[in-house]
Amino acid sequence: MIFDSLEQASRYTRLHPLFKQAFEFLCDPGIQNLPSGKVELDAEERIWANVQSYRTQPVESGRYETHRKYIDIQSLLAGEEVIVYTPCESSLRVLVPYSAAQDIAFQAAAPGIPVHLRPGVFALLFPGEPHMPGRSLCVDAPADVRKVVVKIAADVCGMS
C-alpha cells in the first residue's frame, strides 16, 4: 500500500505504465462534476474509474476485500473516511471466496492499520492487499463521502 498526497503523485508514475494516466485523471478539476458510476478511461478495460457516493460505516460492521487482477487508487472528492489496511491476507478468515468475474474476495474484519482518507490524498492498493474502505472516523459519526476508485490492470506490468 502507498498512501500519499496527490501533489506527490508524480513520484509513483514510473511504477506502472498506466499510473500517469490514472493520476492525471484524479488531479483533473473536472472530476468533481462527474456523475456516480463507471468512467471508461481505456477502450481495452485496462484502466477505468468508479465514482461513488455513500455514507461511511463503523469499522465493526466492515470486512476486508482483496483483488487479484486490478490495482486500486482510491481518492476522495468530498468528506472523510478511514480505510483499514492489513498486509496479511493469509491470516484472515475467508467470508466470500474470490470471484474472478468480479475480481474480489471478502475476509473477516480483524485489527489493522487505519488510514485517514480525505480530499487531496490517495491510497494505492496492490493485488492481494486486504483493505476495508468506507469506514467512519468515529463510531458515532458516519459521514457522507464522494469517492473515485481508479482500477488499473496489474498484468500490464506483470504484477498480477
For the ranges 23-27, 31-35, 40-44, 76-80, which has the lowest average pLDDT? 40-44
CATH number at residue 130: 2.60.120.370
For the ranges 37-51, 120-134, 144-158, which has the lowest average pLDDT? 144-158
Percent of all residues in the chain with a pLDDT value above 90, rounded to a whole number: 83
| pTM for this predicted structure | 0.93
What is the extent of the structural domain holding 143? Answer: 2-157
Nearest to 153 by CA among 57, 73, 76: 73
Find the mean pLDDT for residues 61-69.
95
Three-state SS at 119:
coil
pLDDT for residue 18: 97
pLDDT over threshold 90, residue 96: yes
Find the mean pLDDT for residues 46-68.
95
pLDDT for residue 2: 97
Compute the distance between CA of residue 64 and CA of residue 110 in angstroms, rounded to an integer.
8
10 close to 116: Cβ distance less than 8 angstroms: no
pLDDT in tens, 2-27: 999 999 999 999 999 999 999 999 99
Nearest to 19 by CA among 83, 76, 71, 87: 71
CA atoms within 13 A on the CB side of 107: 22
Compute the distance between CA of residue 33 and CA of residue 47 in angstroms, rounded to an integer.
20
pLDDT for residue 23: 98
pLDDT for residue 158: 56
pLDDT for residue 52: 97
How many domains is the chain built from? 1
pLDDT for residue 95: 96
C-beta neighbour count of 21 within 10 angstroms? 17
